A and B are shown apart, each in its own frame.
Chain A
């Protein structure tokens, strides 16, 4: 069974239009990041305290925040976590609102509140996270550094294995994917945590993986059919690998969907990031990475 038979589709012809889509998505991502004043950094990065609670029944975040304020909780924000049916919330304290030594008191008064208030019957504290300011700064540096080093490492490997233009194309595609995925996280107003950084790095790995399979085929065709024009070679390469490109995206998606819906609140955002990343990564292998290679060849030939 084949999902895609022999294709004569002119991908290169559509690359100009795709570029507009990519630019539009990138602009939306940057606009969203600017509007939200950067990523919604999780407590791991900003420092502060986060208490993850699970309620027995559904409660509006406003009501929740009000009740907390009444019982002497100067929380900075309360947000829903996971799927709506989970009834899980994150209560956050800015570093200046809660020092480490106060957490014990907060924990106690929260447990008292759970025991007294009707709204909180059956509620429980799931997790307490405290991040000191120094660790937060270090983690941001490390997260950005790891993404940067990953890009450089991949570029280095690709330069060794492919022509320079291919390597640059793959790296542009992965920057494109990272930016748009971060934009999607920002648009969905999700917290940017360490797990999200891990997910982003996985997206980078996936995106490059996908790009390489196409590049490999283009390169193989270049050797086998030196008489063909570059444009045709790229079109052939993309067409020949297209069913693999789609099938792999589908299988990865097949495992991500249960993760997204059934994996529990903590894994939920991780799965969301990967889902967006897989779609963008698949698209960019064809319409960003390959498109750049075509552009790069053209420039080289005209010079």
Chain B
């Protein structure tokens, strides 16, 4: 028998020691001594939401709206530039990222194009046709805008969720245009609040009220228009009211707000004169002076406080206000608290929509862990028993290798920070079954050699040597599918693929190296005449 390789023994011992240290936090949990975290990592295997319970939200960012908004800004700027240059604008419209401005016949087209190019050549492709000037937004600028708004949305949502005071939420960009929010441990009760917190665009506007009505139609008629489109063309807008007063269902205001929530520096829950919850806010710099100007010139008028298009309250302006204001309305204390939080974090530049949600109750998570663990222990014990029953002493060798294999897999899961999900546990259990396959291939080969009349030493040597490529070929293909899953998969599937990949690599190592070293150790000092297999 060949001697035992010192090198491999050292490697195996080192790996085992490392994995034990990596796994200690997972098994000790809170009982970990305080000095542990200073010397080693105190982070164990992290559990997925399906095991721990919590909320998972995949948000799509409506970047198209951001582009639309951007083009509206361009429209406003360009039309006023044309006016300054005494070019008569007949009409203008924005659709699908293209701004079309119609000029009156006889307009100086060269001059118009020059103005447009001066201002917007970097962001749009500019051309003309007859007396039309067309600006199509450049794809590169669209990308820039999209990435920009996604990053801002992510940042704002992160602030909101963290401010809410939940344990270790994670907010990441997912794919090209999505944001993944994971809040472990959140209960079903928190669900609605968290969803509201995230989804609320929170555009706060201050507008002067022109008229109040019981229905939209009344207000449309009051402006001598036929429909709401015409109302908008007159620079006015109709908003739904949520002020608690049944007679004031709809409000007519100007279309564009002169002051918005972007200037808010702080917001907090407070109470109105009747002791009802309300939200107090503070303006900073420019906002304060704008707000002062607006209130000063409209004393006696009503000021509408519009949140995401709905009027929350419309108090009468008594005096000039600069820095401080209060939004009253029909809030519960919780709602007022959340609104203050949202206003502090700022409004989302573009709306978000929920593409996917998964809320797992903690009891299901607990149940899954317990059942997963139990079925794993049962499956593991059955395999161990089966191997000893079938392969005697070599079965014990295989079992020792299997136990170390599990230790390595768990250790690496912890080291790579792989999140263990339910399919991941299933993958782990499956690995248990597949792990002994390599041993079986080798042992069957050894048996064959023995039956063919070869000596014990020769049989073991040949058994291992001839099986190396079989085992590698067989596992490379499985690894290939696991890696494809990892690449294409999302969420729980990615966890499964990661677990499977680590499992395969560790299994090949334990089949070809660990089991071999153990076999050699077993027969080291004996003159081998018989193999217990």
Q: How many A-B residue pairs have CB under 8 A?
A: 218
Chain B proximity of A103: nearest CB distance (Å): 7
Closest to A170 in B: B477
Known: A157-B476, A254-B383, A255-B379. A125 touches B188 (CB 8 A): yes
Assembly CA distance A129 to B493 (angstroms) = 16
A220 within 8 A of B: yes
Assembly CA distance A52 to B361 (angstroms) = 10
Contact with B along A70-113 (1 / 0, CB 8 A): 00000000000000000000000000000010011001000000
The answer to whether B481 and A198 touch across the interface, beta carbons within 8 angstroms, is: no
The answer to whether B432 and A243 touch across the interface, beta carbons within 8 angstroms, is: no
Contact with B along A125-142 (1 / 0, CB 8 A): 111111110110001001
B430 within 8 A of A: yes
Known: A198-B423, A263-B372, A266-B50. A127 touches B358 (CB 8 A): yes
A202 within 8 A of B: yes
Which among A100, A124, A205 is the interface contact of B482 at CB below 8 angstroms? A205
Contact with B along A18-46 (1 / 0, CB 8 A): 00000000000000000000000000000
Other than the known A100-B357, A154-B481, A195-B423, what 5 A-B pairs have Cβ atoms closer than 8 Å?
Answer: A132-B60, A146-B485, A153-B480, A251-B387, A262-B378
Which among A104, A134, A213 is the interface contact of B60 at CB below 8 angstroms? A134
Which among A132, A213, A264, A271 is the interface contact of B441 at CB below 8 angstroms? A213
Most buried by A among B353, B496, B500: B496
Task: Kindly specify which of B92-100, B154-162, B466-474 makes contact with the partner chain.
Answer: B466-474
Which among B353, B358, B375 is the interface contact of A129 at CB below 8 angstroms? B358
A244 within 8 A of B: yes
The answer to whether B481 and A204 touch across the interface, beta carbons within 8 angstroms, is: yes
The answer to whether A132 and B354 touch across the interface, beta carbons within 8 angstroms, is: yes
The answer to whether A127 and B359 touch across the interface, beta carbons within 8 angstroms, is: yes
Name the A residues within 8 Å of B374 (CB-CB).
Answer: 258, 262
B325 within 8 A of A: no
Q: List 15 A-B contacts (CB under 8 A).
A: A54-B363, A100-B354, A124-B361, A127-B358, A129-B358, A132-B355, A153-B480, A195-B492, A208-B477, A213-B474, A216-B470, A252-B437, A264-B367, A266-B422, A267-B368
The answer to whether A146 and B489 touch across the interface, beta carbons within 8 angstroms, is: yes
A145 within 8 A of B: yes
Assembly CA distance A100 to B430 (angstroms) = 36
Contact with A along B347-365 (1 / 0, CB 8 A): 0000001111111110110
Most buried by B among A204, A206, A240: A206
The answer to whether B477 and A205 touch across the interface, beta carbons within 8 angstroms, is: yes
B300 within 8 A of A: no
On chain B, the number of residues with a Cβ less than 8 Å from chain A's Cβ atoms is 74
Name the B residues within 8 Å of A202 (CB-CB).
Answer: 427, 430, 481, 500
Contact with B along A114-131 (1 / 0, CB 8 A): 000000000011111111
B236 within 8 A of A: no
Which among A126, A158, A255, A263 is the interface contact of B371 at CB below 8 angstroms? A263
Assembly CA distance A159 to B525 (angstroms) = 45
Contact with B along A150-162 (1 / 0, CB 8 A): 1001100110010
Known: A157-B480, A213-B470, A247-B440. A135 touches B356 (CB 8 A): yes
Assembly CA distance A241 to B392 (angstroms) = 20
The answer to whether A244 and B423 touch across the interface, beta carbons within 8 angstroms, is: no
Known: A104-B192, A126-B363, A195-B423. A254 touches B379 (CB 8 A): yes
A303 within 8 A of B: no
A149 within 8 A of B: yes
B386 within 8 A of A: yes
Assembly CA distance A149 to B447 (angstroms) = 38
A209 within 8 A of B: yes
Query: Residues of A at under 8 Å CB distance from B?
Result: 1-2, 6, 52, 54, 100, 103-104, 107, 124-132, 134-135, 139, 142, 145-146, 149-150, 153-154, 157-158, 161, 194-195, 197-199, 201-202, 204-206, 208-210, 212-213, 216-217, 220, 240-241, 243-244, 247-248, 250-259, 261-264, 266-267, 270-271, 274
B29 within 8 A of A: no
Name the A residues within 8 Å of B490 (CB-CB).
Answer: 139, 142
Assembly CA distance A290 to B115 (angstroms) = 75
Assembly CA distance A135 to B357 (angstroms) = 11
B436 within 8 A of A: yes
Name the A residues within 8 Å of B485 (CB-CB).
Answer: 146, 150, 198, 201
Closest to B385 in A: A254
Known: A255-B433, A256-B433. A154 touches B477 (CB 8 A): yes
Name the A residues within 8 Å of B371 (CB-CB).
Answer: 262-264, 267
Contact with A along B440-455 (1 / 0, CB 8 A): 1100100110010000
B166 within 8 A of A: no
Assembly CA distance A269 to B497 (angstroms) = 18
B297 within 8 A of A: no
Name the A residues within 8 Å of B484 (CB-CB).
Answer: 146, 149-150, 153, 201
B390 within 8 A of A: yes
Chain B proximity of A274: nearest CB distance (Å): 7
B382 within 8 A of A: yes
Assembly CA distance A112 to B288 (angstroms) = 47
The answer to whether B469 and A216 touch across the interface, beta carbons within 8 angstroms, is: yes
Assembly CA distance A6 to B484 (angstroms) = 40
The answer to whether A244 and B361 touch across the interface, beta carbons within 8 angstroms, is: no
Closest to A195 in B: B423
Assembly CA distance A273 to B375 (angstroms) = 17
Assembly CA distance A216 to B145 (angstroms) = 55
Name the B residues within 8 Å of A157 (CB-CB).
Answer: 476-477, 480
Assembly CA distance A123 to B422 (angstroms) = 23
Chain B proximity of A63: nearest CB distance (Å): 23
B140 within 8 A of A: no
Assembly CA distance A253 to B497 (angstroms) = 21
The answer to whether B441 and A206 touch across the interface, beta carbons within 8 angstroms, is: no
B137 within 8 A of A: no
B21 within 8 A of A: no
Name the B residues within 8 Å of A205 (CB-CB).
Answer: 477-478, 481-482
Name the A residues within 8 Å of B475 (CB-CB).
Answer: 209
The answer to whether A128 and B470 touch across the interface, beta carbons within 8 angstroms, is: no
The answer to whether A135 and B355 touch across the interface, beta carbons within 8 angstroms, is: yes
Assembly CA distance A158 to B476 (angstroms) = 10
Closest to A260 in B: B375
